Amino acid sequence: MIRTLRFLSRELLGQNRRARALLARYNPRAFFQVVDHKLKTKAVLHELGLPIIETLAVYHRQHDIARFAAQAQVWEEFVIKPAQGARGQGVVIVTGRQSDRFVTTEGRLLEVRALESHLSDILGGIFSLNQRYDDALVERRLHAHPLLARMSFRGLPDIRVIVFRGVPLMAMLRLATRSSKGRANLHAGGIGVGIDLASGRTTHAIAGKRRLMAHLDTHTSLGGFLLPRWDDILTTATRAADAVALGYLGVDLTLDHEAGLHILELNARPGLSIQLANRRGLRPLIEEVEQCTPENLSVNERVQLGREITAV
C-alpha cells in the first residue's frame, strides 16, 4: 500500500498536471489543427517521407458522396474514417463483400446506401472534435503482422509511443477485444500492454483498471513478446514527432503483414492509461528530459536517450 501511494504521489502523471505542466506549456493550441485533422497530419508526415496509409478517396462536400458507389466497386477492403474523429468513433472497416453488400469487421452486412449515409453523417460533423463539420476519407485496409494478429481479437493492433521534446519515453501495445468491437482503443474496451522501451518486449497488461496475464478472448499470454522492428518503430515515432510543433505527443503506429510499418495518427492529448500498462509514471521521465537538451541531439541520439532514461 505504501509503495502504491508513493507511486501515485511521485510518479503518476494526472490529468490536471498534464493540462498545466505539459499541454499549456508545450502544446500551443494553434498547432492542434494539424494533429486533429488526419489529412493535414498525413500531409506533414508525407513531406518527411514517413510511412502513411494510402488514401483511396476524400469527400469534402455532400455532393462528393455521389462518387462513392462507383469508386467502391474496385475496393475489396477499405476503411472509412472522419478526418477529425477521435477514439475510433465513426470508423467503419469493410473486410469484403457478399453479393452487393459490404461486410464489416463486426459481421454486419451494409448496402451502399448505408455507407453513403454514414459518409454524410461524417461530413455533418457527428464524429468530429468541433461537432460542426468534417471531411471523410477512405483508406486502404491494413492487415496486422502475424505476431500482433495472434495477440489480438480481430481488429488492427497498434503501438502508441509517447514522445516528449523529441524523446520517446513510454510505449504501449493496444489490442482489440470482443467488447471493443474490433477497435484497439482502451476506452472502448481494448487492452493495453506495456512495452519495455529499451528492448521492445511486452511486459504487463490492463483492461480498464484490471490487470491481465492473457487476452480476455484469445487467452494468449501477453507478456514477454519481442515486438518486430522495434528500432524502426522508435525511430519513426521520433521522426513523426518532429513533423509538428508540439512538445508532448502520442504517435500511433502499426505493422502491416506485407507493407510493414505505418503511422496511423498523432495525438496531442494522449491518454494516461499507458502508465498503468507499464506500471510506472511519466512524471520522473519527463523531469529527466527537461533537465537535458534534446533539441541539440539527432533522432538516433534521442532514441538512445529515451532508452537510457527509461532503463533506470
163 lies in the same domain as 268: yes
Q: Position of cell 461530413? A: 123
Of 140, 168, 194, the position where a domain reaches its end is 140
- Residue 259 pLDDT exceeds 50: yes
Nearest CA among 187, 162, 163 for reference residue 177: 187
> Domain containing 35 — which CATH number?
3.30.470.20
160 lies in the same domain as 283: yes
pLDDT of residue 154: 83
Q: Comparing 15-29, 91-105, 148-162, 163-177, which segment has the lowest mean pLDDT?
A: 15-29
pLDDT of residue 3: 54
- Model confidence, pTM: 0.93
99 lies in the same domain as 217: no
Domain-embedded: residue 16: yes
> Domain containing 90 — which CATH number?
3.30.1490
Q: How far is CA 126 from CA 53, 58, 62, 134, in A?
A: 24, 17, 14, 8
What nine digits make up the cell of 280? 510506472
- Taking residues 169-191, report their average pLDDT: 90
Of 96, 111, 140, the position where a domain reaches its end is 140
Domain-embedded: residue 6: no
Domain-embedded: residue 112: yes
Grouping H, G, I as helix, E, B as strand and the rest as coil, residue 41 is helix
164 lies in the same domain as 249: yes
Assign 6 a pLDDT band (cuts: 50, 70, 90): low
128 lies in the same domain as 251: no
150 lies in the same domain as 217: yes
Domain-embedded: residue 7: no
- Taking residues 106-114, report their average pLDDT: 93
- Taking residues 207-221, report their average pLDDT: 92
253 lies in the same domain as 159: yes
Domain tally for the chain? 2
Percent of the chain with pLDDT over 90: 75
Nearest CA among 228, 274, 230 for reference residue 248: 274
Of 140, 163, 178, the position where a domain reaches its end is 140
Summarize pLDDT for 74-88 with one digit per residue, the tens.
999 999 999 998 878
148 lies in the same domain as 135: no
Summarize pLDDT for 270-308 with one digit per residue, the tens.
988 999 999 999 999 999 999 987 788 999 999 999 999
223 lies in the same domain as 302: yes
168 lies in the same domain as 219: yes
pLDDT of residue 82: 96
Distance between CA 306 and CA 197 in Å, rounded? Answer: 8
109 lies in the same domain as 156: no
Q: Which domain holds residue 290?
A: 12-52+144-311
What nine digits make up the cell of 46? 508525407
Say if residues 96 and 76 touch (Cβ distance below 8 Å). Answer: yes
- Residue 1 pLDDT exceeds 70: no
Rounded to the nearest 5 percent, the helix, strand and coil shares of the chain are 35, 25, 40
